[in-house]
Amino acid sequence: MALKIPNKLKNCANCGKMFVSSRGEKICRDCSIKEEEKEMAVLDYVREHQGSSISEVMEAMGVTDRFIKNMISKGLFANVERTDLYYPCQSCGKPIRNGTYCSDCLSKLRNETKKMADQMSIKLGLSNKPISQMSTIERLNMQAEREFARENNVKSQKSMYERIVNKRDNRGIGTKKK
């Protein structure tokens, strides 16, 4: 299901002109086109002057370091060979060419998130083993149990199978009459 963003009347962050933002844009269409043209000019300059630094590009093209760093984070220089345009990882400061974090920090972040999810599942009593070690069926069963408990305001540790069997027994279904 796609998230629908309503149209909003905004002032352009660059020129101040009013425009209708349908996809969360911060600048008007005219400024967006100018920005894209400026990005293409910077890319052409960097291709022609391989090995140029951010300060050299800023001076030659009349753009800010923020503009160039934004281009780097969008990955616009990823296909340009032999470029020295890097910016620091937000966690460790290691030079990177795209994204926000370097690959080392991303893997650390993933591992920490996985550990926290495992600890929370054990701490909340959702399971006696970490989520990362559960099979798909076990995870789906755990999710179904939580939804059932939420719907019925019940805090039960019984499995779905046990609840179904108990319901059958209480109604007399599946039992033989003598």
pLDDT digits (tens), the chain, 178 positions: 455 656 788 899 889 999 888 888 888 999 999 999 999 999 999 888 887 878 888 899 999 988 888 887 787 877 776 666 777 788 888 888 767 788 898 888 888 888 887 777 666 665 556 666 667 777 777 777 777 777 776 554 555 555 555 655 565 554 444 4
- Report the C-alpha gap between 56 and 86 in whole angstroms: 13
Local structure of residue 82 (DSSP, 8 states): S
Task: Tell me whether residue 169 is exposed, middle or buried, using C-beta atoms within 10 angstroms of its C-beta: 0 to 12, 13 to 18, 19 or more.
Answer: exposed
Q: What is the pLDDT of residue 171?
A: 57
Overall pTM > 0.85: no
- CB neighbours of 128 closer than 8 A, spacing ≥ 6? 122
The type of residue at 98 is N
Distances (CA, A) of 142 to 60, 134, 163: 60, 10, 13
Is 138 in contact with 160 (CB distance < 8 Å)?
no
Q: What phi, psi does 21 have (nearest 5°)? A: -95, 110
Residue 71: exposure state from Cβ atoms within 10 A (0-12, 13-18, ≥19): buried
Q: What is the pLDDT of residue 3?
A: 55
The runs of H, that is alpha helices, within the chain are: 29-48, 54-61, 65-73, 103-123, 136-152, 160-171
- CB contact at 8 A, 75 and 98: yes
pLDDT of residue 62: 92
